[in-house]
Structure 1
Amino acid sequence: MFDIDRWREIFQSINKNRLRSILSGFTVAFAILLFTLLFGIVSGLSNSFKSAFADDAQNAMFVRVWQTSKPYKGLQTGRTIQLKNDDFNYVKDEYESKIQYQSARIYKNFTLKYKNEANSYSVRAVHPDHQFLEKTMIDEGRYLNEKDLQEKSKVIVIGRLIKADLFGEKPALGKRINVNGSSYLVIGIFSDEGGDNEERLAYIPVTTAQMIYGNNDYISQINLGYNPDLNLDEAISFGKQLERDLRFKLNIHPDDQSALSVRNMAEANKNVGSFMAILYAIVILVGSGTLIAGIIGISNIMIFVIKERTKEFGIRKALGAQPLSIVWMVVQESVFITTIAGYLGLSLGTYLLSLIGDSLEEDYFIKDPSVSTGIVVGATVVLILSGLIAGYIPAKRAANIKPIEALRAD
């Protein structure tokens, strides 16, 4: 129940010890301000890492090949490694239980033309699973499917910006465009979180590309999505096993990093997770240390306040005041100072983060530095507990003083 007399006494005590209250509150406010800024910056770094991989599935793996840099089994250095459909099927059959998605990729650069509009774009020949590996979002129509692969259909899925370049505001779905001299049916328009470059891509069936552009079974890359039931360590182990097996199959030296690589998002996620955990631990350590200093400061202030009010407390007890009422009054004052100071620091920290957020992203690639609602709620709980701790010990001492000793105190 709200007791106006109690609050009047609290404000009178704060006003009487104005400088001490301000100094103790400043320590708490600075602690929360520092914590907010540090946590916001670390959160911004985390957002930057997430943004960097926004257009790829978190469980993606990429198998790439180049030229050998070491001789192996009588084969010379400088041999070009070429992936084929056989390698794609080998991976699919050998590791079926560990793979969620799988797609080959063939890179092409073609001129796409519709009526009088034409431009050069990157065209990728892929399997249907590529949609999930690249987190492609279909805005109109559909993505490639198995029937397109089986029939080697001349169909194409174009990015949102290709549609804008070639068709403007006119509909593109169901229209035919010229792709390097061949007519393709537009079956879908997509968008991608990766940004403009990703939305100026086009996708065609891998079988169509192999038939028309080379009449071969070559592929440039194998993309996988490992089974999400695998934890990070299991996924990393799977990636290393896959790399060893492909090196053996393709006659590549085990230590030849130039010829073949498997980029595994599990390794990146684990490294980023460990790095962010260390940063958060540092923030919590620094913030906690500063907050503890603030708690000690407020506790010391309350000791001085109680010493000055010793006679008052003695008279209260002599008139029948319960020890609990004295404890609650002192604790309430401590919680009030801590909470107000803490929220001043939290508000100032949030404001500063919003003020410098754009410059941090431009200069230091720290994206959207901010504190979440959970942090605000957590800060509230910490502040209340801090106020309780800071006020309880001196309040308990004040409540236990005997009235006759209090009246004799100077």
Structure 2
Amino acid sequence: MFDLDRWREIFQSINKNRLRSVMSGFTVAFAILLFTLLFGVANGLGNFFKGAFVDTAENSITVRVRQTSKPYKGLQTGRKIQLKNKDYEYVSKTYKNKIEYQSAIIYKNFSIKYKNEASTYRVSAVNPDYQFLEKTIITDGRFLNNRDVQEKSKSIVIGRLIKEDLFGGRPAVGKRVNVNGSSYLVIGIFSDEGGDNEERKAYIPVSTAQMIYGNNDYISQINVGYDRNLNTDAAIAFGSQIEREMRAKLNIHPDDQTALSVRNMAESNKFISTVMFALLLIITFIGSGTLIAGIIGISNIMIFVIKERTREFGIRKALGAQPSSIVGMVVQESVLITTIAGYVGLSLGTYVLSLIGNSLEEDYFIVNPSVSPEIVIGATIVLVLSGLIAGYVPAKRAANIKPIEALRGD
């Protein structure tokens, strides 16, 4: 199992041939280093794409309207398109079998005041399902419910940072705040993975906003969450169907992208999946090339080493050494160098990725570059096995040479 004398010989051989050992190790370490960096960068790009939609439900479809940019059916360009409650109800009734969640939205910017603290925040008037469409995390109290909407209650759910701005460390749920001149009861506090901007928002019932701020039935946009049982293609087709029918209902030109836009997360997810798959293929190809280069490098070095030590093997055999002991010593030395070098390359690559961190996000869209330990360890094992084979094959051939022939070798 553990032959101390053999290990002494291995370390003596490594010490005696430092340059050869360093070159062998460098080939492996450099291959693993590049492999780690390539996959880390690929994962960093994937994290950027995922982070762009971290606070939005993966099955979300958003319908927005603005002004027309094309004339249609005798209607002029520049016509303002306005969504109303009847449009919201139309979507709800027409597609009820394909919709999991649905919410209307009205965007406002209001001053929110509590005692002597006040500031202006984005206030969104929504329906209760918006909690799931926006992945809002309630940390205290509750979100809006159907009763709030039906009774047009002056209830408000505020973000974590609004709570800190206005209340500091004091409790906020159950307190009343002044919202643009009207008193609202704080019923909940929420957090959001989308970042600070998302946590400086507040939500009120859509019916309350329509009654107090305009006395109308206007809404800014419609959000729906399609049935998660729909596959990607079916979800994309569903979004296209909503767009076609809403264009027809609102008399919008089929090619007028300014007047109406439908953002379908299924399309975004499909695009991200396609990009990541293509990127993975490219990285795998380059990474495999790097590993193959490392394998070839260490193989060439081991062939040279075996040839250089042929005379030594002849002397060992003349003194009674068995071919298996010679082969075992060479293989152990090869595996030892490869393993240590692989670990060095892995450690260095991981350290560089941690050092980079999020510094490449702004210019290169790389967020938290990292690599799965399983992938890199697997690559290291491949190189170790390659080192084993690279040492075994020429060592086996050299060990089978007759002592007299080995002693005559140049």
TM-score for both structures, normalised by structure 2: 0.91
Measured against aligned partners, the alpha-carbon deviations of 1:317-348 in whole angstroms (never above 9, x if no partner) come to 67876655544433322222222112212222
Which secondary structure state, in structure 2, belongs to the residue aligned with residue 96 of structure 1?
coil
Q: Write out aligned runs for 1:188-199 (5 A).
A: 188-199=188-199
Query: Which residue number corresponds to residue 173 of structure 1?
Result: 173
Give the Å deviation of 1:259: 1.0
CA distance in 2, matches of 1:340, 1:43: 26
Query: Which residue number corresponds to residue 294 of structure 2?
Result: 294
CA distance in 2, matches of 1:186, 1:287: 54
Query: Which residue number corresponds to residue 41 of structure 2?
Result: 41
CA distance in 1, matches of 2:47, 2:141: 31
Q: Which stretch of the first structure deviates more once superposed, 265-274 or 199-208? A: 265-274
Letter in 2 for 1:264: N
CA distance in 2, matches of 1:133, 1:23: 56
Query: Which residue number corresponds to residue 344 of structure 1?
Result: 344
Letter in 1 for 2:107: Y
Letter in 2 for 1:12: Q
User: Is the contact made by 1:33 and 1:349 (CA closer than 8 Å) also made in structure 2?
Assistant: yes
Q: Write out aligned runs for 1:196-275 (5 A).
A: 196-275=196-275
Give the Å deviation of 1:385: 2.5
Query: Which residue number corresponds to residue 80 of structure 1?
Result: 80
Query: Which residue number corresponds to residue 329 of structure 1?
Result: 329
Q: Quickly say closer, same or farther: Cα 1:106–1:299, change in 2 above 3 A.
A: same
CA distance in 1, matches of 2:408, 2:94: 89
User: Is the contact made by 1:84 and 1:219 (CA closer than 8 Å) also made in structure 2?
Assistant: yes
Measured against aligned partners, the alpha-carbon deviations of 1:255-289 in whole angstroms (never above 9, x if no partner) come to 11111111112222222222233333333322322
User: Is the contact made by 2:36 and 2:376 (CA closer than 8 Å) also made in structure 1?
Assistant: no
User: Is the contact made by 1:21 and 1:301 (CA closer than 8 Å) also made in structure 2?
Assistant: no
- The runs of 5 or more residues in structure 1 that have no matched partner are none
Query: Which residue number corresponds to residue 133 of structure 2?
Result: 133
CA distance in 2, matches of 1:320, 1:248: 94
CA distance in 2, matches of 1:253, 1:363: 38
User: Is the contact made by 2:291 and 2:379 (CA closer than 8 Å) also made in structure 1?
Assistant: no
User: Is the contact made by 1:69 and 1:256 (CA closer than 8 Å) also made in structure 2?
Assistant: yes
TM-score for both structures, normalised by structure 1: 0.91
CA distance in 1, matches of 2:42, 2:308: 44
Which secondary structure state, in structure 1, belongs to the residue aligned with residue 23 of structure 2?
helix
Letter in 2 for 1:330: V
CA distance in 2, matches of 1:401, 1:144: 85
Q: Write out aligned runs for 1:5-24 (5 A).
A: 5-24=5-24
Give the Å deviation of 1:62: 1.1
User: Is the contact made by 2:62 and 2:221 (CA closer than 8 Å) also made in structure 1?
Assistant: yes
Q: Quickly say closer, same or farther: Cα 1:310–1:117, change in 2 above 3 A.
A: closer
Measured against aligned partners, the alpha-carbon deviations of 1:107-136 in whole angstroms (never above 9, x if no partner) come to 112222222322222111111111111111
Which secondary structure state, in structure 2, belongs to the residue aligned with residue 334 of structure 1?
helix
Give the Å deviation of 1:221: 0.5
